[in-house]
Structures are given as C-alpha cells and as structure tokens.
Amino acid sequence: MYLRGFSLGGSTLWRVKTRHFPRKSSRSSSSIATHQSVNKTLTRSVVALQQEILAHRSSPQLDWQYLNDLNGGQLGPSMKTEVPGPNSRLLMKDLGQFHQNSSIAFFIDYEKSQGNFVSDADGNVLLDLFQQIGSLPLGYNHPSLLKAVESPATKLFLATRPALGVTPPMDYIDQLHSTLISVAPSKLHYVQPKMCGTCANENALKTAFIWYRNKERGWKQVQTDSAEMMSAYNNQEPGIPKLSALSFTGGFHGRSIGCLSVTNSKPIYKLDVPMLNWPRATFPEYKYPLEHYEAENLAEDSRCLEEVEETIYQHLHTAPVAAVIVEPIQSEGGDKHGSPYFFKGLQHLCKKARETLCNNACYKDF
C-alpha cells in the first residue's frame, strides 16, 4: 500500500492504493439543518468574485472605483500613530496580567476592517499581507461571507458543536463532497477534517506510524491483553516502537511537540521544549534564474536526494524512518521551491524504502 497525505487548511487529504469502497448514498427521508446551504452560498460567492476580479484585470486601466468598492471605501493606508499605538500597548499590558502577550503585534478592530485593509485599536489602517495566516482570501467583512454565516444552519452547527468523529450530522458526507473533496488534488480520495494545520500534520504523522506498524505485523489485529497493548500504556516497547519521521532544513510544520520535532525554521520555536530526536535532510537551494543554472540545480537536487537515501539507511536499525514530511514551497524557511525532479525523486525513495510521504502545506500561500 502507498499512502500520501496532503494537509490543507486544517484537513488532511489522503491517497490510498488499496481496496476500493464505493460511496454509500447519504440521502435520507428526513434532514437536519447543516452547512449545506452555506457551502453553496460560499462557493457561488467565491466564483463570482473571481470572475469579477478577472474581468477588471483584463481592463487596460486600473479601475480605482472597483478597488474602492471591494475594500469598503478604503483605498489606502491611513496612519494616525506608531504601531503598536497607545491603545494597543495598553491592551497588551492588561492582557499580560493573565495571558502571554509576547507574540502580539497589535489589537484589531475587526468591525472596521474591510477587504485587504485592517484597522487597529488606534484607528490606523494598514494594508494587511498577513490576512490571519492566509485564511482570508476574500478579505475582511466580505458581504457574502457575512450573509452566509448568519444562516440558521450555521448558527445551529456552531451552537451544537457536533463531534464529527462520533456523531456527525446526517448530510456530513454531502458537506465533504461539496467542499474539501471537490477541490482535492488528483487521486487523493480520502479526507479527515482537523481543527488546524498542526492538527492535520500531527494526524498525518500518526497515521503513517500506525500504517507502518500494521504492515510489519501483517495487518493482524492487536489483542487487548497482548504485550504490545500493555507496554504501550507505560510508553515502552514493543507497543511504543522506535520509529522516526524525516524532515528537511527550513521546514515549518506546526507548534505541537510532534510537529515541532520536524520543524527546522527558527530555533526560538523549540527553545526549552523537549524534542523527538528525529533525522532531517537538506532541502534544495537553487541558483537563479533557473534557466541559467540548470546543471547546477540538477546537481543540487541529486545531492539532496542522496543525502535523504543515506539518512534513511543510517536509521534503518535504530529508529527506522516511517514517514517523510516536506513542504512543496517553504515559506518560513525562506521562500524555497523544490523542483519536480526533486519531489519525484523523493517519492521514488519513499516507495523504495516503504515509508509514507507526508506532503505538507502548512502555513503556505499558493
């Protein structure tokens, strides 16, 4: 079996070469209020806005009135104080009495923020390139989104907080097909929603380890009174295997202990936190422009792939590499792009060595 995961916006999409299970119909004679109507509204809103933007892009002159309307009348930044201003600093001080505040840049007035512009607690208006970790493709307070979240279906969903892994709503299958699965990369047929990118990556790593061990034991079910089960309770072998996940220099995959162990972007993230001592390899660094350095960049890819293979071999008898986690584009690592040759070579090595390739897109802008 070859399994590949792709995390996107707090969900993990899976490709599994195994027995095909036909999708059962999710239709029923009765229904409960869900996100289905919201999904359709959001889809229409996104498509309509994309078409509108493309139409204006084709114009030979920039339509300032269009941009003005899109951003709620805000055409540019408007600065009244330094950032953070006095109001933000006062709020930081108050928050610091009972909550960590070292990572806070400034406080936002979300009601006044519009489109690509964010308004802070001091009335400053800034062009926002952060967009809440890239999660606001339509910007702040988009009318269609605000209308969609006011629907009774959304309110009921938020108020009841369904445990989707245990008691999902009746048309949950339709929700997944009309949202995540509808935009899934080719041949990735499985999806497992998670709360965030870190959760998705953590789940992907766990799935890789579980698959690896199941394959080793011949897919036999573990008995509740077995040595594996009893030793797992005490964090000991054989229930707790000595396996590892291979990551790359510059990679960022999240801030939980597991994901931090495969994160190699900034040391401050790891400082004072015990880490899993897992291996890492070098992510390619190319010379630009690419067309002028084809031979050099091909040599760089080959060097990195050889390092990956050697690292896997070195850990074969100590902590076998059961998963490889890599970003298609490194952002925290310095805007580094791996070539198709590199990723195809990495995929080949994973198949050769029986690992799982976890293809991670956490904290990325595409």
Condensed to tens digits (0 to 9), the pLDDT of residues 338-362 reads 999 999 999 999 988 875 556 655 4
| Positions in the chain short of pLDDT 50 | 1-9, 11-43, 60, 62, 64, 362-366
* Three-state secondary-structure class, residue 281: strand
Is the pTM above the cut of 0.75? Answer: no
> Comparing C-alpha atoms, which of 18, 2, 17 is closest to residue 357?
2
* Three-state secondary-structure class, residue 38: helix
From residue 124, give the alpha-carbon distance in Å to each of 73, 93, 114, 117, 131.
15, 19, 13, 10, 16
294-314 helix and 340-353 helix, angle to the nearest 10 degrees: 20
Q: Which residues contact 203 (CB under 8 A, 6 or more apart)?
A: 12, 192, 194
Measured CA to CA, the distance from residue 331 to residue 327 in angstroms comes to 9
* Three-state secondary-structure class, residue 44: helix
DSSP helix, strand, coil percent of the chain (3-state; round to 5): 40, 15, 50
**What pLDDT score was predicted for residue 355?**
57
**What pLDDT score was predicted for residue 2?**
34
Q: Identify whether the C-beta of residue 200 lies closer than 8 Å to the C-beta of residue 207.
A: no
Domains located in the chain, CATH noted: 64-147 (3.90.1150.10), 195-358 (3.40.640.10)
DSSP class of 69: H
Write the burial class of residue 10 (CB in 10 Å: 0-12 exposed, 13-18 middle, 19+ buried).
middle
From residue 5, give the alpha-carbon distance in Å to each of 11, 15, 185, 208, 356.
10, 7, 10, 9, 8
**What pLDDT score was predicted for residue 335?**
87
**What pLDDT score was predicted for residue 360?**
57
Which residue in this structure is represented by tokens 């062009």? 127
**What pLDDT score was predicted for residue 3?**
39
